[in-house]
Structure 1
C-alpha cells in the first residue's frame, strides 16, 4: 500500500497550488494531495474536511490536522523504521500547530517527500535536516477501509 501511495503522489507533481483544492493537474494544497492519494487507493474519502482559511494554523491552537490523521491513518511509533509512502505531518514552527502534510518517497541518503507548497505547486523535495526536524508525526495507510 505504501509504495503505491508514493507512486500516486509522484503522479501529482506539477499540479498547481490551489488552497482547498484536490484535483490532480488542476490544483491542490497539501491536504488535497493526501486526499487525492486516499481516493486513488480506496475510492471515496473517509470524511469531508471543513472549510479552512489559508492561515488556519496561525489563528487557532487546536491540532485539527493531527486529529484527522489519527482518525483515518495509522500512527507510526517515533522509533519505528521509516518507510516509503508514509504520510508526514509537519509542525512549521516550534510551539505552533502541525499544519503541513507530505508523503515520503525516499529513505536514507535519498530521503525525499512529495508535498503541495504555496507558490510552487506539488513538488518532490529532499527531506533535508530542517524539514526532518519539523516532522511532528508519521502515519501509514490503513490496510483497508
Structure 2
C-alpha cells in the first residue's frame, strides 16, 4: 500500500509538470474538475477549504491556473464579494491527453473483475479513504502530550 501511495505521489508530480503546473495547482484543479462533473459551482473560498489552503494561497493558485488557460473566474451573481471558478472549455481535453493512458489502463484492469468484485473494491477504497481522513485529522490535531 505504501508503494502504491508513493507511486501515486510521484505520478502527480510528473503529471503536474506535463501540464505546466505544480502539485498544489494540480490538486486544486482536481477539486474543480470534481465539482464541475457534479454540476456544482465552486467559489474560491470553498476551494481554499477543500485544499486546506489560505484564501491568499488560493488566489495565487487561481492566478496560475487562469494564466495557464485551465480556469476562468467570474463574480458570484448572488454575492459580488465571492468569485465563482469555472473550467475553461479546452481544459478537460488537455488534462485527458495526459491522464487518458492511466484511465485506459485502469479501465482494462477493472474489466478483469465481475460486478460483485468491483463493488467490494469500491467499498474497500471508500472505507479506506474515510479511515485515512480520520487518521490524518488526528495527526493534524495537537495531542495532549505536545
* TM-score interval for Structure 1 and Structure 2 normalised by the shorter chain: under 0.3
Which protein, 1 or 2, shows the higher relative CO under an 8 Å CA cutoff with sep ≥ 6? Answer: 1
Rg larger for: 2
Structure with the higher fraction of residues in helix conformation:
2
TM-score normalized by the length of structure 2? 0.25
